[in-house]
Amino acid sequence: MLTERAAALDAADPLAHIRDRFLLPDGVVYLDGNSLGALPAAVPAVVEDAVHRQWGTDLIRSWNGNGWWEAPLRTGDTLGRLIGAAPGQTVVGDSTSVQLFNTLLAAARMRPGARLLLTDPDHFPTDQYIADSVGRLLGLDVRRVPAREAAAVLAAEAGNVAVAAYAPVDYRTGELYDMAALTAAAHAAGALMHWDLCHAAGSLPVELDAIEADFAVGCGYKYLSGGPGAPAFAYVARRHQAGFDHPLTGWHGHTEPFAMSGTYAPGDGISRARISTPPLLSMLALEAALTAFDGVEMTAVRAKNLSLTGFFQDCADTLLDGLGFTMATPRDPERRGSQVALRHAEAYPLVAALTARGVIGDMRAPDLLRFGFNALYVTHADVLHAVQELHAVVTGGAHLAPAFQQRPTVT
C-alpha cells in the first residue's frame, strides 16, 4: 500500500525530472542534504574549467576576463531569487559565522539606544555564540527567548530591543516559524529583524523583500547544494545599505578598491557588504550548483518537500510504531520545514547502522535522528525505502553491533 502510494506520488511529481541535474551515487538514499547537498551535475565541468583554464592558463587575468571580480554580487543576485530578494541586496562569500557576525553587529549599530539583543535558546550554536560576541563588543545584553515567545517579549520590551536574530526552521526538529509575523513583531517594537536561512534557503519560498526583513544570512552547502563549505550569503535590505556600518571592512567593500586608500570609504549599495577575496573554486562551484534551480519555482519545491516529509511521517507511523521512536517534527504542514526528526534513545547507532545500509541521514545529540528532504533529488520511493530500512535495523538489532556504538569525531 505504501509502495503503491510512493509510486503514485513520484509519477505525479512535477519536479521528478530535476533529479537528473544531480550525480547521486548508486545504492544510496541521501537524506542529509540539509547538512551537505548532493553534487549537481553542472558542477564538475565548471570546477575543471576554473582550475585548468581560468586559474592555470588565464591566471591573474581572470579577475577581469572571467568575471571573478563580479562573482560575489552576480551569484548573490542568482541566489536572491530563491530567497525573495530583488537584485542588489545579496552578496556571496565567507562563512555563515562570518556573515552572521558582520551583519548582526552592523544591525545592532543601527539601534544605538536599544540595549537588548534577542536570540533563540534553540538557535544553532554559532548563532548564539556570535550573538554573545556582538553583545559583548557593543555592550548589549543578549537574551535568549524561544521563537514562539519572541513576539510577546518584543512587545513587552518595545524600544529596548536592537535586533531579533532567529531562524525560520529549527535545525534539530525542523519546526517552522512564521517569518512574516515575527518580522512584523520586531518592527512594531522598533527592532531590526535578522534571519538565519541556513535551513530555509532552497527549501522554502522565503520572501525577504515581501516581509520586509532587514538582514539575513545563510549557507550555500545545504539545500543549495553548493559543495562542502560553499560560501555563505548575506542579505542587506536596500533601505539599510547606505547605513550599513560593518566591522569586517575588507578592501573589496571599498568604494574605490583599486585606489588602495589607507582609509575605508564604503562602496555603494550591496557592494559595501563585500569583505575580501572569496574562495573562487568554492564560489564558482556554488554558482554552477544554483543552475539546478533554473526554471524551478520555490512554491513547487515547497509542495514537494511537504509531500516528502508528510509521507515520511505516515511511513513512520505505520512501520515504526511501538519501536521506541517519537516524532519530534510537527505534523502540521504550516509548522514543518523540510526535514523530519525522530527521537530514539539509540539515535547514534541507528543512524550509523542505517548509513552502512546506504540510507544516509544524521543525528544530533543526544537522541535525534534527522532526515532532510531536498525536493530536487529525493523521491517518495527513497522515503519509503529509508523507513523500511530503519524498521529492519531496529527490529533486527543491526545497530547493536560494536562497530556502530563508537561515535567518531564528526557525525
Q: Which is nearer to its own copies, 113 or 125 (CB)?
A: 125
**C-alpha span between 151 and 385 (Å, rounded):** 41
Q: Which residues of 378-407 are buried (b: 16+ CB within 10 A; e: fewer)?
A: bbbebbbbbbebbbebbeeebbeeeebeee
Is residue 196 annotated as a catalytic residue, yes or no?
Answer: yes
Tell which one of 282, 305, 307, 374 touches its own copies (CB under 8 A): 282
Tell which one of 86, 156, 180, 259 touches its own copies (CB under 8 A): 259
Q: Interface with its own copies includes 63 (CB under 8 A)?
A: yes
Is residue 120 annotated as a catalytic residue, yes or no?
Answer: no
Give the chain's radius of gyration (CA, Å).
22
Tell which one of 57, 332, 397, 402 touches its own copies (CB under 8 A): 57
Question: At which residue does the C-alpha cell 589607507 appear?
Answer: 262
Is residue 222 annotated as a catalytic residue, yes or no?
Answer: yes
Q: Interface with its own copies includes 54 (CB under 8 A)?
A: yes
Do you find a cis peptide bond into 366, omega within 30 degrees of 0? yes
Q: Interface with its own copies includes 89 (CB under 8 A)?
A: no
Instruction: Specify burial of residue 28 (Cβ count, 10 A radius: 0-12, 13-18, 19+).
Output: middle
CB of 34: closest distance to its own copies in angstroms? 10
Catalytic residue (choose from 312, 370, 371, 404) = 370
**C-alpha span between 255 and 45 (Å, rounded):** 34
CB of 302: closest distance to its own copies in angstroms? 24
Q: Which is nearer to its own copies, 200 or 306 (CB)?
A: 200
**C-alpha span between 263 and 140 (Å, rounded):** 28
Tell which one of 14, 159, 243, 247 touches its own copies (CB under 8 A): 247
Q: HSE on the CB side for 238, CA within 13 Å?
A: 8
Catalytic residue (choose from 22, 30, 124, 348) = 124
Q: Which three cell numbers stand for residue 190?
A: 522598533
**C-alpha span between 383 and 106 (Å, rounded):** 42
CB of 107: closest distance to its own copies in angstroms? 15
**Binding window for its own copies (CB under 8 A); candidates: 41-49, 299-307, 383-391, 393-401:** 41-49
Question: At which residue does the C-alpha cell 509502495 appear?
Answer: 3
Inter-axis angle of helices 96-109 and 125-138, to 10 degrees? 40
CB of 314: closest distance to its own copies in angstroms? 26
Q: Interface with its own copies includes 224 (CB under 8 A)?
A: no
Confirm if 227 and 248 have CB atoms less than 8 A apart: no
Q: Which is nearer to its own copies, 195 or 319 (CB)?
A: 195
Specify the DSSP class assigned to residue 373: -
Q: How many residues does the chain have?
A: 411
CB of 25: closest distance to its own copies in angstroms? 5
Helix or strand (DSSP H, E) at 92: strand 90-92
From 280, 376, 350, select the one nearest 37 (Cα to Cα).
Answer: 376
Is residue 109 annotated as a catalytic residue, yes or no?
Answer: no
CB of 115: closest distance to its own copies in angstroms? 17
**C-alpha span between 218 and 208 (Å, rounded):** 13
Catalytic residue (choose from 19, 21, 172, 222) = 222
Q: Interface with its own copies includes 43 (CB under 8 A)?
A: yes
Is 317 known to sit in a ligand binding site?
A: no
Q: Interface with its own copies includes 343 (CB under 8 A)?
A: no
Tell which one of 17, 112, 322, 409 touches its own copies (CB under 8 A): 409
Is 127 known to sit in a ligand binding site?
A: yes
Is residue 304 annotated as a catalytic residue, yes or no?
Answer: no
**C-alpha span between 164 and 152 (Å, rounded):** 12
Tell which one of 77, 346, 362, 382 touches its own copies (CB under 8 A): 362
Q: Which is nearer to its own copies, 306 or 362 (CB)?
A: 362
Which residues, numbered 177-216, are part of the site for its own copies (CB under 8 A)? none
Is 258 known to sit in a ligand binding site?
A: no
Specify the DSSP class assigned to residue 55: I
| Beta-ladder partners of 161 | 116
**Binding window for its own copies (CB under 8 A); candidates: 3-11, 123-131, 294-302, 378-386:** 123-131
From 394, 8, 379, 22, select the one nearest 224 (Cα to Cα).
Answer: 22
Q: Interface with its own copies includes 1 (CB under 8 A)?
A: no
Q: Interface with its own copies includes 319 (CB under 8 A)?
A: no
Q: Which residues are catalytic?
A: 124, 196, 221-222, 370
**Which residues carry a binding-site annotation for pyridoxal 5'-phosphate?**
96-97, 124-127, 196, 199, 221, 251, 277
